[in-house]
Amino acid sequence: MKVIRYPERNSWQELIQRPELELSDLETQVEEIIERVSREGDQAVLEYTRRFDGVELNSLEVSKEEIRASSSRVDRSLKDAIDEAHGNIRAFHSSQIQSSKPVETGKGITCWQKLVPVQGVGLYIPGGSAPLFSTVLMLGVPAKLAGCPSVVLCTPPDSEGNIPPSILYVARLLGLDRVFRVGGAQAIAALACGTETIPRVDKIFGPGNQYVTMAKQVVSRDRVAIDMPAGPSELAVLADEGSDPAYVASDLLSQAEHGPDSQVILVTGAEELIHQVEAQLDIQLAGLPRKDVATRALKQSRAILLKDEREMVDFINLYAPEHLSIVTRNYHRLSEQILHAGSVFLGPYTPESAGDYASGTNHTLPTNGWARVYSGVNMDSFYKKITFQEISREGLAGLGKTIMSMAEAEELIAHSNAVAIRLKPPGDE
Amino acid sequence: MKVIRYPERNSWQELIQRPELELSDLETQVEEIIERVSREGDQAVLEYTRRFDGVELNSLEVSKEEIRASSSRVDRSLKDAIDEAHGNIRAFHSSQIQSSKPVETGKGITCWQKLVPVQGVGLYIPGGSAPLFSTVLMLGVPAKLAGCPSVVLCTPPDSEGNIPPSILYVARLLGLDRVFRVGGAQAIAALACGTETIPRVDKIFGPGNQYVTMAKQVVSRDRVAIDMPAGPSELAVLADEGSDPAYVASDLLSQAEHGPDSQVILVTGAEELIHQVEAQLDIQLAGLPRKDVATRALKQSRAILLKDEREMVDFINLYAPEHLSIVTRNYHRLSEQILHAGSVFLGPYTPESAGDYASGTNHTLPTNGWARVYSGVNMDSFYKKITFQEISREGLAGLGKTIMSMAEAEELIAHSNAVAIRLKPPGDE
């Protein structure tokens, strides 16, 4: 880690920079994929799958039978773990379900909101060395709790055209409607445009590589909504001289192993702790299968030594990390001052990996400073709110003058007439 | 209006098309403005104001004194109207304020959401022939209710450099922090990038012309959040033979007068009603100051005759109108089937203009079919939710096996280690 001692405030902006994602080169390429999928449907999807995944598919959709059979290919112990995580995620997300009651804003004027679940939801689960079934839980549980009537999943096939059994197992556990063996920009294009086989959805959720990220960005301009802008994962740890350096190092490493572009930042007022954490990083790194990835991520990560709590809190709020771990002695008090973070982990026994998998909170969170203004995925992500209003004749008689006066001041006379015509005495036409 | 009798379902997709907004030509132009404002700050803003608004400004900010003085330049009757609307908007939006309680998802595992107001809010109010002070109410009331610590407003100056007193009056009534006499893409650029005078905000709200719309779209890619994608305003009216044709015509006209690209659609099963509404449109149009605008909007608008209620509801849900007026006899029953609309107006005495100004609901709503997945502006628009969690040692002992089992199945061993290291017996290092 690069150690930065007592940086001046005017240099902080530079310290919070994320690695630049150079996506603009991809834009033309991805736009072409979207254009072809929108025009040629399944045929284009199959061809891109041949080209990018190196597999000739017989069918885009995973059969019910294949999904059912997945259960026997997942270990009992993993199923038990998934069940417990499922229960916790469900409990936390259920607690977020809102209701809305009519409000009489004035006599005879009733207004209310109606929560309507997003009708077509598309989940994207990336491929890669290991199956990210935990993301199926994180996106599928709230989608089903919200009552979204169609929830489909796209994930890339392996070279044999297969999907990992753990992903199919979770899809079945949650009752997702359909699963398609399609990945990359072509999957996002299919969900946004619809093909003969893959239904067009209203909102696309889920992480992915730079092609997927770019494709989500492009289709969100004019076709569908997306969960949030995506970037490499991040963790900031706020620690003091009482923090356990072994625990801190283990959290930094669990972030660093995600990818070489993962962002890891240690913020503290205790210089000695930085050295202890560095020593622990060396010890713990040695045994990791993803040692190379973590080492590369740590190379561009930073330990920042600051002079007091005020500076530490201000720095974190400027950085707006996706994950924030607070392991100082006074973590409760510090946590109250946090304004910008995706998800916050408090105290010595709350590793970030708990929230990644099983405590109940969602792990789909805003990166790249977007925590300043976006929330992570939560129940709100799967609803929209329609406003309704009903006014009685008496209600309009009471409110009419106000509406007309304002409409006239904005020179919108038809707006005023729509009230006047309703308040005319009967027969006065 | 163009009358379309009993269209086949496979032709509906064409009937719901909105006028194409050709924005791509503007993109380069707007990107240049943003780039210059980000580089040169106030100087660039002043120059664009000279060029586009034809006025040489002494100061970008409207002085406190000027804001205070606005009060004496607004009629008492308009002030009373604004006060009543303010009260209703406040009442409805207050009712939406949520709270969040900690949830113990498992023994020793506590998770909660914290609602944090968006810290920097920028409101954009377009210029034009009449001052849109009602939009200041619609955006400013929830921003202040949410407790957003900085709420600033940009609106273009007239040729003398002045801002309409009604806009300043509402800004003062709501306690907005600062008002700037800047419009167009340069205003959006200033809010997104910050200048010496205008603070950088986290989220930009408000309508505008095509330059403003394009600028909001561009800055939302990598700089700030925006309220929602924007397009020309829309109204669909669902009516039957019992509906009053004069009322229906008055609502259609109040939508049509917004602009020549406004969308107006009448959906009904009653052919006779269409003729009656057309006759009423002719009568009512005659007296309108904005007759030309409304006539142009009506030329491309449609009356669609459908064969039954099922078709009517399905058509509306496919169209997903910004505003929907239901004036059939059974409007309650029909309203329950509406899945996609921004704001719905029920029964004969609920003109759309009530919601535009004073009933309490918000008038900033999704257009162009985005009501399929976006909500209008509401209290949620001014908050983000951060998740927090705290796990006790016992809690982690209980949940640890689950986290480790899932992390190992995803081949993320450092994630598993972060649990294992915390559960080691003391002294076992």
CATH number of the domain at A255, please: 3.40.50.1980
**Exposure letters A217-228 (e unless 16+ CB within 10 A, then b):** bbbbeebbbbbb
- Residues A257 and A369 reside in one and the same domain: yes
Three-state DSSP class for residue B202: coil
Q: Is B300 inside a domain boundary? A: yes
Which stretch of DSSP H or E encloses residue A139? helix A133-146
Q: What is the mean pLDDT of residues A248-257?
A: 97
- Residues B47 and B188 reside in one and the same domain: yes
More confident residue, A372 or B25: A372
Distance CA A78, CA B405 (A): 6
Q: Is A352 inside a domain boundary? A: yes
Contact check, Cβ <8 Å, A349/B422: yes
Q: Which amino acid is at B355?
A: G
Q: Which of A85, A113, A222 shows the shortest C-beta gap to B402?
A: A85
- Judge whether A373 and B225 are in contact, CB under 8 Å: yes
pLDDT per residue as tens digits for the range B329-345: 999 999 999 999 999 99
- DSSP character at residue B61: B
Q: Is B385 inside a domain boundary? A: no
pLDDT band per the 50, 70, 90 thresholds, residue B23: low
Q: Which residue of A has its CA nearest to B81?
A: A402
Q: Is A383 inside a domain boundary? A: no
- Residues A315 and A367 reside in one and the same domain: yes
- Judge whether A223 and A204 are in contact, CB under 8 Å: no
Q: Which of A80, A96, A354 shows the shortest C-beta gap to B399?
A: A354
Q: Which residue of A has its CA nearest to B405?
A: A78
Distance CA A238, CA A347 (A): 10
pLDDT per residue as tens digits for the range B347-392: 999 999 999 999 999 999 999 999 999 999 999 999 999 999 999 9
Q: So what's the pLDDT on residue B180?
A: 98
Residues of A whose CB is below 8 A from B352: 418
pLDDT per residue as tens digits for the range B227-250: 998 888 999 999 999 999 999 999
Greatest CA separation for chain B: 91
- Residues A343 and A209 reside in one and the same domain: no
Q: What is the mean pLDDT of residues B154-171?
A: 96
**Count of CB pairs separated by less than 8 Å, A with B:** 400
Q: Which of A88, A109, A416 shows the shortest C-beta gap to B105?
A: A88
Q: So what's the pLDDT on residue B165?
A: 96
Residues of B whose CB is below 8 A from A116: 339-340
pLDDT per residue as tens digits for the range A164-184: 999 999 999 999 999 999 999
Q: Is A381 inside a domain boundary? A: no
- Residues A143 and A166 reside in one and the same domain: yes
Contact check, Cβ <8 Å, A385/B380: yes
Q: Is A107 inside a domain boundary? A: no
E-strand spans in B222-350? Answer: 225-226, 234-239, 263-268, 302-305, 323-326, 343-346
Q: What is the mean pLDDT of residues B174-190?
A: 98
- Judge whether B92 and A103 are in contact, CB under 8 Å: yes
pLDDT per residue as tens digits for the range A387-399: 999 999 999 999 9
Q: Is B7 inside a domain boundary? A: no
Q: Which of A187, A210, A226 is the last residue of a domain?
A: A226
Check: complex ipTM more than 0.90: yes
Give the relative orientation of helices A165-174 and A76-94 as an angle to the nearest 10 degrees.
Answer: 40
CA distance A219 to chain B (A): 12
Q: Which of A217, A348, A355 shows the shortest C-beta gap to B389?
A: A355
Contact check, Cβ <8 Å, B357/A103: no
Distance CA B208, CA B215 (A): 10
- Judge whether B342 and B369 are in contact, CB under 8 Å: no
The residues, ordered by sequence, that sit 6+ positions from A50 with a Cβ below 8 Å of its Cβ are A56, A57
- Residues A280 and A344 reside in one and the same domain: yes
Residues of B whose CB is below 8 A from A390: 345-347, 350
Q: So what's the pLDDT on residue B21?
A: 64
Residues of A whose CB is below 8 A from B230: none
Residues of A whose CB is below 8 A from B279: none
CA distance A418 to chain B (A): 5
CA distance B372 to chain A (A): 7
Q: Is A385 inside a domain boundary? A: no
pLDDT band per the 50, 70, 90 thresholds, residue B225: very high
CA distance A65 to chain B (A): 23
Can you give the pTM of this predicted structure? 0.96
A300 has a pLDDT exceeding 90: no
Q: So what's the pLDDT on residue A23?
A: 64
The residues, ordered by sequence, that sit 6+ positions from A306 with a Cβ below 8 Å of its Cβ are A6, A7, A267, A268, A269, A312, A315
Distance CA A326, CA A346 (A): 5
pLDDT band per the 50, 70, 90 thresholds, residue B24: low
Contact check, Cβ <8 Å, A419/B109: no
- Residues A64 and A152 reside in one and the same domain: yes
Of B180, B216, B215, B199, give the one whose Cα is nearest residue B49.
B180
Of A89, A141, A145, give the one whose Cα is nearest residue A117.
A145
Residue A305, domain extent: 231-375
Residue B9: CB atoms within 10 A of its CB come to 11
A64 has a pLDDT exceeding 60: yes
Q: Which of B205, B226, B247 is the last residue of a domain?
A: B226
Tokens of A418: 């729509």
| Residue of B224, B252, B410 for testing the chain A interface, max A β-carbons within 10 Å | B410
Q: What is the mean pLDDT of residues A359-377?
A: 97
Q: So what's the pLDDT on residue A100?
A: 86
More confident residue, B136 or B427: B136
B429 has a pLDDT exceeding 60: no
Mean pLDDT of chain A: 95
- Residues A185 and A205 reside in one and the same domain: yes
User: With left for phi above 0 and alpha for psi between -120 and 50, is residue B164 left, alpha or beta?
Assistant: beta
- Residues A136 and A255 reside in one and the same domain: no
Q: Which residue of B has its CA nearest to A133?
A: B410
Distance CA B314, CA B336 (A): 12
- Residues B160 and B77 reside in one and the same domain: yes
Q: What is the mean pLDDT of residues B118-142?
A: 95
A104 has a pLDDT exceeding 60: yes
**Number of structural domains, chain A?**
3
B37 has a pLDDT exceeding 80: yes
- Residues B202 and B273 reside in one and the same domain: no
Distance CA B344, CA B319 (A): 14
Q: Which of B226, B248, B276 is the last residue of a domain?
A: B226
- Residues B81 and B149 reside in one and the same domain: yes
Q: So what's the pLDDT on residue B300?
A: 87
A413 has a pLDDT exceeding 80: yes
A333 has a pLDDT exceeding 60: yes
pLDDT band per the 50, 70, 90 thresholds, residue B213: very high
- Residues of A labelled as active-site residues: 322-323
Q: Which of B374, B380, B392 shows the shortest C-beta gap to A225?
A: B374
Q: What is the mean pLDDT of residues A280-293?
A: 95
Contact check, Cβ <8 Å, A354/B389: yes
> What are the helix and strand counts (H, E) for chain A?
17, 14
Q: What is the mean pLDDT of residues B150-179?
A: 97
Contact check, Cβ <8 Å, A116/B85: no
CA distance A69 to chain B (A): 19
Q: SS3 breakdown of chain A: % helix, strand, coil, rounded to 5?
A: 50, 15, 35
- Judge whether A359 and B389 are in contact, CB under 8 Å: yes
